[in-house]
Structure 1
């Protein structure tokens, strides 16, 4: 955990240096249609460098830096998660780190550099949120708790990508939820706000391993729940569902499945 946080802080420094001049960055489009910039690669490389220096025998998989090594210990990285908002100068972008051991995610870190907040969890030890500055972590870590909500209708839910930035059709897989929940804005990734009790649920579409590995652990370590639409908990690709309780997660999944069967 200490190493993951140290790497996250190092990456945050790099990310902020690019964010200060984000308007001048070139933007490329990847094969899947998502946006990538030089900043995505630079942050991921720095995070990987810090970890590899301390754990040279560990394996890695990163959104931009790909696969390296073979080990029962694998680091899962996303240098900039939320490039869509990053390039607009929106402060909700984050960097994600997870450590998977023998196929199980044991450590998850989400750092939100522009908000000077880091969210972290270790399996069996709870999930926390703490502020940081250029010197490192500051203040006390706050343990996170979900809202505890169990009912679907009217629950406050965050949708990712932001609803106002993408066509409604992008959410075709989870569209039944839009009319049964109260779609809410999110000041940080909606899954993190589920972990802190500020939202009841979060629904993300188009996610990958590196998106869900750390966020899933952070939410489940608050007594919340996470899975793909099919109930898989790891690895998940496509739609990812985060909820305050197992009961609410089941309700979200059943609403999606029921609509698709009609």
Structure 2
């Protein structure tokens, strides 16, 4: 493994984040759809597999070696004492898919500096796909031939032409906002629940205009928020706050962000 550059620029941190994703993929992909996959339940009744644990351990080990002064917040092993630079890790986002043999899962790696997520990597090895981006550096995805290409959110500027992903009806219902979701679906061209990390990456690639969900933690959102914003989009909570720590998210192509929030919060449609 090539040794990553020392900290000091987002480019160097992004190089490291891509190596962290390699290390996670080496743990997760061999265990995907494995007959002897070890699955248990955590205190919150969500599932965890041996692959989740091994992937986070591998990422933490590399960070301890290459960024010993940075803190880490991971889904499986919790949070270190906070520092100005904090790596936020979801070793397998979409564990329910992973344990059922559904390939819509991946590792999410984000770097938060002074409270703002500045870069992110999402790796989906079962699909042979990866996405990454950083503030000021743009956003990119891998191609089938192993090359990379820049990605950008769409320029769609009318709700009538917008395609949105709501992740899960149950999420919106439990949060008490099912009526808001239905109001939005009546205003847009198309609605689907693509689910989990894929929705955000479709948004970053310009294939959707909005993703929204509830009951989410920082590790569910950090990498996605960084990539979406690096691709020119906008990320906020349901209430419009620029934060990944509120338990909700609304990510858009930026152009439609305010219009979507207005619909979700019951503002009457603007007529010409």
TM class by shorter chain equals 0.7 to 0.9
Residues 1:11 and 2:24 are matched in the alignment:
yes
Would you say the 8 A contact 2:33–2:99 is kept in 1?
no
Normalised to the residue count of structure 1, the TM-score between the two structures is 0.86
Residues 1:119 and 2:131 are matched in the alignment:
yes
Would you say the 8 A contact 1:78–1:96 is kept in 2?
yes
Work out the number of aligned pairs and report it.
Answer: 249
Aligned to 1:176: 180
Separation (CA, whole Å) in 1 of partners of 2:244 and 2:171: 27
Separation (CA, whole Å) in 2 of partners of 1:129 and 1:151: 26
Q: Kindly report which structure 2 residues correspond to 1:220-235, keeping only aligned pairs within 5 A, or say none.
A: 220-235=229-244
- Provide runs of 4+ in structure 1 moved above 6 Å: none
Aligned to 1:60: 72
Specify the SS of the correspondent of 1:44: helix
Would you say the 8 A contact 1:177–1:252 is kept in 2?
no
Specify the SS of the correspondent of 1:87: helix
Would you say the 8 A contact 1:213–1:234 is kept in 2?
no
**Candidates 261, 264, 271, aligned match of 1:256:** 264
**Candidates 81, 85, 89, aligned match of 1:73:** 85
**Candidates 222, 228, 234, aligned match of 1:219:** 228
Shift in Å, 1:112:
0.8
Change in CA separation of 1:47 and 1:131 when aligned onto 2, cut-off 3 Å: farther
Shift in Å, 1:120:
0.6
Would you say the 8 A contact 2:33–2:98 is kept in 1?
no
RMSD (CA atoms): 2.3
Q: For structure 1, which segment, 150-159 or 234-243, has the greater mean C-alpha deviation from structure 2 after superposition?
A: 150-159
Q: For structure 1, which segment, 33-42 or 103-112, has the greater mean C-alpha deviation from structure 2 after superposition?
A: 33-42
Aligned to 1:145: 152
Q: Give structure 1 stretches of 5+ with no counterpart.
A: 133-137
Aligned to 2:208: 199
Q: Give structure 2 stretches of 5+ with no counterpart.
A: 1-13, 268-272
Normalised to the residue count of structure 2, the TM-score between the two structures is 0.83
